[in-house]
Amino acid sequence: MRAEEIQYIDEDEIDLKELWQTIMKYKFKLALFTFIITFVTILFTLTKPNSYTSSTFLAPQEKSSPSLGGFSALAGMAGLSLGGGSMDAASTLDVTIKDFTFNAMVIDKYKLDEKISPKSMEKNMVFALGSRFMYDLTHSGTEEKKALDRDTVVYTTYKTIQNIMSFSSDKKTGGMTLSATTEDRFLSKMLVDIYLKELTTYIKDREMKEVNKKIGYYKQELMHTSDVALKQQLGQLLSSLMQKKVLSQSSEFYNVSKITDATVANITDKSKPKRGLIVIVSFVTSLILGIFGIFFLEFIRNEEGKDKNEA
């Protein structure tokens, strides 16, 4: 058994030596292949401008409302709800920022389809080594895109905006972060400011529309009832809704407070591309593919040699 084990070990060592010898046989071709792929990757990364992120940190506003007790049941019988819904500020913002109708309104209002176009952002783009030569070289002589109808433009811009804008929240602290990442660091800040303003305004207008509808209903019922107890209950319901309406005007942003302002990112503080990582991955991948190609080529040659010998 020991002799067999020694034989197996010897065979393994021979196989490893053969593999290494095969690699050394094609080492210059392997080195050339790896160099070419890595060099092309470096050139590719130089054509990509830096992307910058601008963010604002938000906190939910504390809501204080009077205890309504049995009045909730009364409102329920009327087919209405008292408050601004069961969704918290973070959930409402997250849903709204993904809503196409809302985004279409913002896109048209601020002409975002023009602002986020590469042509518009070019003047503020920053490149590695401070040179835009490779970018200009690869983007020169490009034909203008075919004119699209407005609906297609808005939808395409909406899909792009979904990749630019980012919203996240911390369930433990309640803190929220609204961010934008573009190749124009000034545009990133502008988008954060625009979306914070429009998001909170859109949500407030929608909720106040519901509040006004409820107020109108309760006032109508108050005029047509002679029951003293019911009048008192309706009066308290109206009071709570009026309080909600007044509170909505008491702060700059509805339901949230801005803790930090969005700022223009420093020119050195890019968020992507990770050029070093891209080049390393390219080098390792090309080296592995090159070695695999060597073994595959050697296998084909050995099979051809066997066929010739048999013939």
Tens digits of residue pLDDT in 145-171? 567 788 999 999 999 999 999 999 998
User: Does residue 130 sit in the same domain as residue 10?
Assistant: no
Burial of 96-107, coded b for 16+ CB within 10 Å and e otherwise, reads bbeeeebbeebb
Cα gap 275→128, rounded to integer Å? 9
Distances (CA, A) of 189 to 63, 74, 127, 256, 267: 29, 47, 19, 19, 13
Contact assessment for residue 227 and residue 235, using Cβ atoms and an 8 Å cutoff: no
The residue-averaged pLDDT of 291-295 equals 91
If one counts every other C-beta atom within 10 angstroms of the C-beta of residue 303, the result is 10
Quote the percentage of the chain above a pLDDT of 90. Answer: 49
Which of 16, 27, 30, 49 is CA-nearest to residue 283?
Answer: 30
Model pLDDT, residue 138: 79
On whether residue 268 sits in a domain, the answer given is no
Contact of 291 with 30, CB cutoff 8 Å: yes
Residue type, 164: I
Domain total for the chain?
2
Residues 12 and 64 in one domain: no
pLDDT(54) > 80: yes
Count of CA atoms in the C-beta half-sphere (13 A) of 99: 16
Q: What integer pLDDT is reported at residue 4 of this predicted model?
A: 54
The answer on 104 and 19 residing in a single domain is no
What would the two tokens of residue 232 be? 């008192």
Query: Which single residue is written with the structure tokens 């309760």?
Result: 218
Quick check: is 146 in a domain?
A: yes
Task: For the sheet with 176-182, list strands across it.
Answer: 165-169, 176-182, 52-60, 256-260
Whether pLDDT at 79 is above 60 = no
Q: Is 256 a member of any domain?
A: yes
Percent of the chain whose pLDDT exceeds 70: 83
Structural domain range at position 169: 52-260
Q: Is the pLDDT of residue 85 over 70?
A: no
Structure tokens at 209: 């529309």
Same domain, 241 and 123: yes
Q: Where are the beta strands (DSSP E) in 170-306?
A: 176-182, 256-260
Tokens (6 digits) for 206 = 């929608």
Same domain membership, residue 180 and residue 167:
yes
Q: pTM for the whole thing?
A: 0.77
pLDDT for 265: 94
CA distances from 208 to 71, 96, 122, 249, 263 (A): 20, 16, 41, 10, 31
pLDDT at residue 83, as a whole number: 46
- Rounded to an integer, the average pLDDT of 182-192 is 96
The predicted structure's pLDDT at residue 70:
47
pLDDT tier, 236 (very low <50, low <70, confident <90, very high otherwise) = confident
The CA distance from 22 to 5, in Å, is 26
pLDDT value of residue 228:
77
Q: Between 66 and 300, where is the model more confident?
A: 300
Query: Which of 103-112, 215-224, 246-255 shows the highest mean pLDDT?
Result: 103-112
The pLDDT of residue 215 is above 90: no
Is 113 inside any structural domain?
yes
Please give the residue that has the higher pLDDT: either 289 or 65: 289
Burial class (CB in 10 A: 0-12, 13-18, 19+), 220: exposed
The answer to the question of residue 94 being in a domain is yes
Q: Is residue 177 part of a domain?
A: yes
What mean pLDDT comes out for the span 185-208?
95
State the pLDDT confidence band at 114, using cuts at 50, 70 and 90: very high
Claim to verify: residue 107 and residue 134 sit in the same structural domain: yes
Query: Would you say how long the chain is, in residues?
Result: 311
The CA-atom distances, in angstroms, between 299 and each of 38, 250, 288, 291 are 26, 77, 17, 12
The model's confidence at residue 77, banded by pLDDT at 50, 70 and 90, is very low
